[in-house]
Amino acid sequence: MPDTQWPEYVVFQQDKPERVHHYAGGVHAPDAEVALLNARDVFVRRPECISLWVVRRDLIFGATSEEISLDPNWFTQFEVPEGRIEKYAVFQKHGPRGVHEYTGTVEGRSSRDALRAALTVYANQDVTVWWVTPEEAIRRSTSDDIAALFAIAETKFYRDEGQYRTQEALRKIKAMRDKEQSSHGE
Amino acid sequence: MENDLKDALAARLLAMGDDEAILGHRDSEWCGHAPILEEDIAFANIALDEIGHAQVWYALHAELLGEDAASYPDELVYRRSAGAFRHAPLLELPKGDWAFSMLRQYLFDLYESVMLAKLADSQNESIAGAAIRIGREEIYHRRHTQTWVRRLGLGTEESNSRMQTALDALWPHVMELFRPLSGDATLIEVGILPNLGDVQTVWEAAIRPWLTESNLAIPEAIPSNYTRTHHTKHLATLLDDLQEVVRLYPEGSW
Amino acid sequence: MYGATIDLMDDPRDDAEKLAAFEARIAAGEKIEPGDWMPEEYRKQLIRMISQHAHSEVVGMLPEGTYITKAPSLRRKLILLAKVQDEGGHGQYLYHAAETLGATREEMLDLLLTGKAKYSNIFNYPALSWADMGIIGWLVDGAAILNQTMLAKASYGPYSRAMIRICAEENFHMRQGQDIIITLAIGTPEQKAMAQDALNRWWWPTLMMFGPPDTDSPNSTVLIRWGIKTKTNDELRQTFINQMVPELQSLGLEFPDPDLLYDAESGNWITGPIDWDEFWRVIRGDGPMNKERLGARRAAHEDGQWVREALAAYAEKHEMTSAVL
């Protein structure tokens, strides 16, 4: 049997209440519950997280501004299915630095339809990448998870580089050795 | 504190510390060898938490004996011989396959979370405070391990059969977690420690349906011959590894 | 996702125009994102480089992993376990970055396990004592930090972002290594000897970590032109030597290099000749631990197969993946 590493989920992380969710990376998981737990283990080994969202990678539809600007037919050349209107979450990446951030929601009959709506609603010169995904596809941590899943990273003092005063120790040892050597020389 | 009570509490804290230290050690053996990269990371988190819990209980044990809370835990872990350890033998068994390690972790996590919930009301304030702090981590452990037990139990024929084999091997050793130490009665009387029979009742009420719904048959309860004072041969091997560096350079500080 | 819309695109430009625009973006310091047009060679080089880097993190868990159970205090055990766990996390971030280019983790792991993909040579050397944990943290992670600080500026957005996250976590790795070595160097004579022995064994292999000399580095030119790398192997190696020599000497440790000298004019420490024959030997699979490392990875992979299958089967049976759609 060929190997399976399970499907890939994209992880969005919220650092503080006043900040929006941003793209953190991805995890592999067989289902959304395991994906959420894995996201916690991979991305919250250190504190600074109050919420995680995970979305199956194949449920995210994206386009870069370059793609959109180069294709004159981008806005027209696709079929909008008959299906029901759904809510989609929109993510934007701004400028050359930074990562994709949650921007808001739009409605659409397909991912591409939703992306077209997003381009109208959230138009911004600065956007380099657009992502949309059905709101229903997002598995979210809850407020109850903050204490159990995220806050406990605070007790892991040993990951803080400030715990290791090595440069200070090296300077002290060097000074001691220099002093010893100069007194030997006299 | 009266001497009897003090001795009883010291013995209980030592057993609790040893449980966590030995389990954390076994869990740490998986780091780099787990079935998928995400689980290398997840299981290491659990191991880190358990070793952290050991430090908490050992520190209280040290304080009670008037020893240095920072250095005494290392004395306990690195300079005792096998016969002096007081953890349940369940926790020293070799890590086995992923089913064995995951199921052992689940059985212990559930025990620990029930125990901690009750210890949060302990008449001893230090213990109650520690139980509340540690308890936060156990909520996450329990969610992780029960998620896995369910999936391995119901996954494939092979995973189910490996889980059943693991359960059959682990079950006789579980009962030792609920057997009182000689001084426990004194502690229960003054409200420092919960009645372990009550802990077991809550534990069984949670664990039996979860295992059954995971398509695992709960074996007859035949306690093993090994106890907190009579360990399996695996403990000596474990300590040869754990204490190797310290034994090589006994004068060193690290 | 990401670049999956490429086939929908009706790009009117020819290849020369595309390449010129691509190189202009890189020259302007812009980041290339999945979905943007990129030369096939850029994509190939990135997948090769990022997956090798990911493999190095994962195989790199093994040498230090052997000492997690032997760490000589509870504090050291927590630190080492957290560090090796971080390496796994870094491998995870990097595989994800390579996946944005269309590589799958199944394919990448298959190439690793069948011996077709490379990983850093350094992990084909054995860890023989507790002091090795200190020297690996100090030298190997010190070298990795220099390399990764450069790669954090890489032109490919996902690689650069993974590197930024990794660099932020990596300083702890080097510091804990320094902390181990300082403790040993001021400890008993036996402990200091242990530190010296570790430095003797790891110094030359870490110098080789930066790759072959610039005169002999086939991929460097294109990697630099496309902003994947911004410094040459020899430049990074010299920075590393200049940083490490005075620090370790200040502890009274000696370098296993009779030719090592300070050149006041250039301000550089100059080492004796590096044994590049050894480097190529280890790359070809003939290092001291190549078989053991791959063997350990294969064993974990094979022993874990039933686990991965079981959870996939559970998800399928319970339609958990479609339940959220």
The reply to whether B227 falls in a domain is no
Say how many domains are in chain B. Answer: 1
- The C-alpha R_g of chain B, in whole angstroms, comes to 18
The reply to whether C169 falls in a domain is yes
The reply to whether C118 falls in a domain is yes
Instruction: Look up the CATH number of the domain holding residue B189.
Output: 1.20.1260.10
Average pLDDT for A69-79: 75
The reply to whether B56 falls in a domain is yes
Structural domain of residue C61, as residue ranges? Answer: 18-288
Average pLDDT for C191-200: 98
Say how many domains are in chain A. Answer: 1
Residue B179 has pLDDT above 60, yes or no: yes
Name the phi and psi angles at A122, rounded to 5. -110, 30
From the list A73, A159, A164, the residue facing C10 with the nearest CB is: A73
Minimal C-alpha gap between A96 and chain C (Å): 5
| SS3 sequence of B131-156 | HHHHHHHHHHHHHHHHHHHHHHHHCC
Residues on chain B touching A149 (C-beta within 8 angstroms)? 140
The reply to whether C7 falls in a domain is no
The reply to whether B254 falls in a domain is no
Residue C26: predicted pLDDT: 92
Where do runs of H (alpha helix) occur along B29-90?
37-64, 72-79
Name the phi and psi angles at C236, rounded to 5. -65, -40
Please report which confidence band the pLDDT of residue C8 belongs to, taking 50, 70 and 90 as the band edges: very low
Residue B239: predicted pLDDT: 98
The reply to whether C8 falls in a domain is no
Indicate the length of chain A as a whole number. 186
Instruction: Look up the CATH number of the domain holding residue C156.
Output: 1.20.1260.10
The reply to whether A2 falls in a domain is no
The structure tokens listed for A183 are 């007194």
Residue C5 has pLDDT above 60, yes or no: no
Write the CA distances from C24 to A97, B163, C20, C30, C291, integer angstroms.
Answer: 17, 58, 6, 9, 45
Instruction: Encode pLDDT of C138-183 as tens digits.
Output: 999 999 999 999 999 999 999 999 999 999 889 999 999 999 999 9
Q: Do B78 and C91 touch (CB under 8 A)?
A: no
Minimal C-alpha gap between A48 and chain C (Å): 13
Looking at chain C, which subunits does it touch, using at least 3 CB pairs closer than 8 Å as the criterion? A, B
Q: Could you identify the residue written with the tokens 């009750």?
A: B118
The reply to whether B209 falls in a domain is yes
Residue C12 has pLDDT above 80, yes or no: no
Residues on chain C touching B98 (C-beta within 8 angstroms)? 303-304, 307
The reply to whether B97 falls in a domain is yes
Residue C228: predicted pLDDT: 86
Of chain C, the percentage scoring pLDDT greater than 90 comes to 82
Please report which confidence band the pLDDT of residue A145 belongs to, taking 50, 70 and 90 as the band edges: confident
Residue A81 has pLDDT above 90, yes or no: no
Q: Do C105 and A139 touch (CB under 8 A)?
A: no
What is the C-alpha to C-alpha distance for residues A114 and B219, in angstroms, rounded to an integer? 55
Least confident of B24-28, B202-206, C31-35, C103-107: C31-35
Please report which confidence band the pLDDT of residue C10 belongs to, taking 50, 70 and 90 as the band edges: low
Average pLDDT for C16-41: 91
Q: DSSP assignment, residue A143?
A: T
Say how many domains are in chain C. Answer: 1
What is the C-alpha to C-alpha distance for residues A34 and A36, in angstroms, rounded to an integer? 5
Residue C320: predicted pLDDT: 56
The reply to whether A1 falls in a domain is no
